[in-house]
Amino acid sequence: MIKIAVLGYGTVGSGVVEVVARNAKLLRERAGEEIYIKYILDLRDFPGDPYEDRVIHDFGTILNDPEISILCEVMGGVGAAYQFTKQALEAGKSVCTSNKELVAKHGAEFLAIAKRMRCNYMFEASVAGGIPIIRTINSALAADRVEAVTGILNGTTNFILTKMEKEGADYGEVLRQAQELGYAERNPEADVEGLDAGRKIAILADMLTGKNVAPDRVMTEGITKISTADFAYARAAGMTIKLLARCRVFEDGSVSAMVAPFMLPVEHPLGRVDDVFNGVQVTCSMLGDAMFGGQGAGKLPTASAVAADVMDCAMHPGRTVMHGWSSEEADVVDTSQTENRFFVRAKASGRKCLEESFAGCSFLPEQGGDELGLFVPAMRESDFFAKCAALGDVVLNRIRLA
């Protein structure tokens, strides 16, 4: 019997308990032994819960129990979660987590301890929820070089943008729905300002470079300025708007990483990844392009990924299966020095100035409201933003083109 502990009995924690219970037979067959949840650590009590008798409040009980070989850290945050993870790994216990903030910030440190102690720090659920993208890069693509990743990595914002596009829905109302459905972070700012997707692309950039890409080196722009007027222009051009996270490794080993709303053709591989679904496009030197999609948030999809990590640990005792990355800082490129094409929505009265500023721009069919929309050819981002600033209040919004 393999005895495990779950740290945090919230949405994901209760999901892990449910996956292990519902798939108990299958897990036993595959792991060769029963997976048994011995402890659930939480500050709260859960009177009447079927697992009430396994709820404990003292982490020391788990740490000092030699029977516990695997922990699921699904409590979130970077305070107690950091301490518990470090202590568990130092004790040779494997840790499986959905905590992207912690992985993005301290992954290199934990991976080094896991390697030294011949156990595992696993984080499949931290990126793209239920989509097995970490395992794919770590194992399935182990013989290839992943040069770039572009993904829709946040379910909440994809849910919001899809509803805005398809139903002309109100931003605040859709955000509330996403929170009720358990998709959104406790602080929705992390979702809507792109920070959550930023942490996830930082983790993927870590994996692609084998070095540390600090999450605060990822340029992030959120979706709060996107309006139904932007969607009208996108629709007229056969396009849609998605919050994309992009990471690219260059020949010299430097890396760019960013999160921002992009206008992209609906027939783009990520163009019809809708609702809470996530999509990840990887470009490899041998395989070429490959697409992965699935549920990027929510209780059971996320718990399924955590439980898969538990299975990996159970099936490889005494072996470290993650390649991971070192604590050496990666050479992160300043995205303002990279080139992009842009969509601009502007006041109709500014047409002449826009034509002068953006040589070679093309105007889109008018969508009313004394406004116009145009596509601006590729230029260095810093130059583009300088021109927008010089145009003053003529420019109402601008969105990168994929």
94, 154, 304, 335: which one contacts ligand HSE (CB under 6 A)?
Answer: 154
Which segment (153-161, 224-232, 313-321, 342-350) binds ligand HSE by CB under 6 A? 153-161
163, 200, 347, 387: the active-site residue: 200
Taking contact as CB under 6 A, which single stretch among the options 77-85, 183-191, 318-326, 376-384 is the one that binds ligand HSE? 183-191
- Out of 9, 110, 183, 375, which residue is the one contacting ligand HSE (CB under 6 A)? 183
330 close to 214: Cβ distance less than 8 angstroms:
no
How many residues comprise the chain? Answer: 402
Of residues 97-136, which lie at the interface with ligand HSE (CB under 6 A)? Answer: 129
Alpha helix segments (H runs only) across 46-154: 59-63, 80-90, 100-116, 133-135
Select the span of 109-117, 165-173, 180-188, 335-343 touching ligand HSE (CB under 6 A): 180-188
| Nearest residue to 304 (alpha-carbon basis) of 17, 10, 4, 2 | 17
Shortest distance, position 154 Cβ to ligand HSE, whole Å: 4
Selected range binding ligand HSE among 75-83, 140-148, 177-185, 344-352, rule: CB under 6 A = 177-185
Give catalytic status of residue 86 as yes or no.
no
Taking each helix axis as running N to C, give the angle between helix 155-167 and helix 171-180, from 0 to 180 degrees, rounded to the nearest 10: 140
Closer residue to ligand HSE, CB minimum distance, 294 or 373: 294
Q: Phi and psi (nearest 5°) for 188?
A: -65, -15
Among 97, 156, 240, 357, binds ligand HSE (CB under 6 A): 156
Only one of the segments 18-26, 148-156, 221-229, 367-375 lies at the binding site for ligand HSE (rule: CB under 6 A); that segment is 148-156
Report the residue number, 18 or 147, with the smaller CB distance to ligand HSE.
Answer: 18
Phi, psi (degrees; rounded to nearest 5) at 216: -75, 0
* Site for ligand HSE contains 155 (CB under 6 A): yes
DSSP 8-state secondary structure symbol assigned to residue 366: P
Q: Binders of ligand HSE among 297-326, rule CB under 6 A?
A: 297
**Gap between the Cα atoms of 95 and 313, Å rounded:** 9
Residue whose beta carbon is closest to ligand HSE: 156
Cβ-based nearer residue to ligand HSE, 156 or 209: 156
Closest contact distance (angstroms) between CB of 50 and ligand HSE is 26
Interacting residues of 270 by C-beta distance below 8 A, sequence separation 6+: 150, 151, 152, 242, 244, 264, 279, 281, 402
Site string for ligand HSE, 186-205 (x = CB under 6 A): -----x----x---------
Residue 154 or 304 having the CB closest to ligand HSE:
154
Name the residue among 139, 177, 88, 120 with its Cα closest to residue 309. 120
* Total interface residues for ligand HSE by CB under 6 A: 11
- CA distances in angstroms from 348 to 185, 272, 354, 370, 371, listed in the order given: 38, 31, 10, 5, 4
CB-based contact 347:396 (threshold 8 Å): yes
Number of H helices, E strands in the chain: 14, 16
**In what helix (H) or strand (E) does residue 377 lie, and over which residues does it extend?**
strand 371-380
Chain position carrying tokens 């740490």: 63
Nearer to ligand HSE, 154 or 212 (CB): 154
| Planar angle of CA 305, 307, 310, nearest 5 degrees | 115
CA distances from 219 to 2, 101, 280 (A): 42, 16, 19
Among 73, 124, 185, 381, binds ligand HSE (CB under 6 A): 185
Please choose, out of 39-47, 154-162, 230-238, 342-350, the segment that lies near ligand HSE by the rule CB under 6 A. 154-162
CB of 312 to ligand HSE, least distance (A): 20
**Residue 101 CB, nearest distance to ligand HSE (Å)?**
10
- Minimum CB distance to ligand HSE smaller for 100 or for 217: 100
Least Å distance, CB 386 to ligand HSE, is: 34
* Pairing mode of beta strands 277-284, 146-152: antiparallel
Question: Which residues are catalytic, by number?
Answer: 200
Name the residues that contact ligand HSE, by CB under 6 A.
129, 154-156, 183-185, 191, 196, 296-297
